[in-house]
Every structure is written in C-alpha cells, then in structure tokens.
C-alpha cells in the first residue's frame, strides 16, 4: 500500500530542520524530527510505500538500521492515527511532478527513528498565552 500527505487538510512547514504540521479540521499541530521530516517530504511529493520509504532511508541517511521499514511502519501508523496521511488510490504514482521540494536535505544526516510529536490544539495554545 502507498500513502501520501493529506494536503487537503494538513498545512506544513520546515522550521529549524524539523517539520511542523497543522491539521485544518482538528486544529491539531504536530512536530516531526529530522528523519520524520525527510520522510514527510517524500510523502508530500509522491505516494510511497513503507518499503520504498525504508529503501530511501537506507540510501540517504547514515547509520540506518538494516531494516528501517520497521520504524517506517510505526511512523506511518502514527501519521494515519492523526489523519495526517491517506492511503493512495491504486495506480496513483505521483502527486507532484519531479523530486520532493528540497526544504530539508538529507546531507548525510544520522538516522534516528522517525517520530511524530503531537502538541495539542493550536487554538488552545493561543488562548492559553503560552
């Protein structure tokens, strides 16, 4: 199965090397670590499977485990849980043309398991004044 970023409901940016995602319907906002951000860029560019993302990690990140697909599957499960990605329709090969936007380059980065950190609802944060 292939997955892609839920670009109809999720706005995102890279801030200081980490992804920040905002879900428009739930007002939930999330942080991604560097590996998660690099994978998110792949998902925003084209539908990808767990295996394809694991292979990408093996090619681009230093110190990746022999089978990064285990960590990628857990990451995908988190993204699905928070409605940040969708399953791609069968036969959908590409959402955007060309390579992913080079907002964050791997540049031989060290591998860390990809992680989604939920921060709550943006509206509550704004109203709390934190």
What pLDDT score does 36 carry?
A: 97
Measure the CA–CA gap between 79 and 76, rounded to whole angstroms. Answer: 5
The predicted structure's pLDDT at residue 107: 73
Residues paired with 23 in a beta bridge: 10
Q: How many residues does the chain have?
A: 130
Pick the closest to residue 86 from 101, 94, 76 (CA basis).
76
Cα 74 to chain centroid distance, Å, stands at 12
What pLDDT is recorded for position 91?
A: 67
What is the pLDDT at residue 96? 46
The residues, ordered by sequence, that sit 6+ positions from 60 with a Cβ below 8 Å of its Cβ are: 38, 106, 109
The predicted model scores a pTM of 0.85
Helices (H), 8-49: 34-45
Separation CA 19–CA 120 (nearest Å): 15
The residue ranges of the chain whose pLDDT is under 50 are 95-100
* Tokens 């090969």 found at: 93
Give the tokens for residue 11: 């706005």
């Amino acid at each position: 199965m292939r997955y892609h970023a839920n670009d109809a409901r999720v706005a995102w940016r890279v801030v200081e090397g980490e992804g920040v995602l905002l879900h428009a319907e739930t007002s939930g906002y999330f942080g991604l670590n560097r590996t998660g951000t690099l994978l998110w860029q792949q998902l925003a560019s084209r539908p990808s499977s767990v295996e394809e993302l694991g292979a990408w990690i093996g090619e681009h990140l230093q110190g990746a485990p022999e089978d990064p697909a285990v960590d990628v599957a857990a990451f995908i499960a988190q993204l699905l849980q928070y409605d940040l990605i969708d399953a791609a329709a069968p036969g959908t090969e590409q959402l955007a043309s060309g390579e992913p936007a080079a907002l964050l380059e791997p540049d031989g980065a060290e591998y860390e398991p990809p992680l989604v950190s939920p921060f709550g609802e943006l509206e509550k944060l704004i109203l709390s004044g934190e």
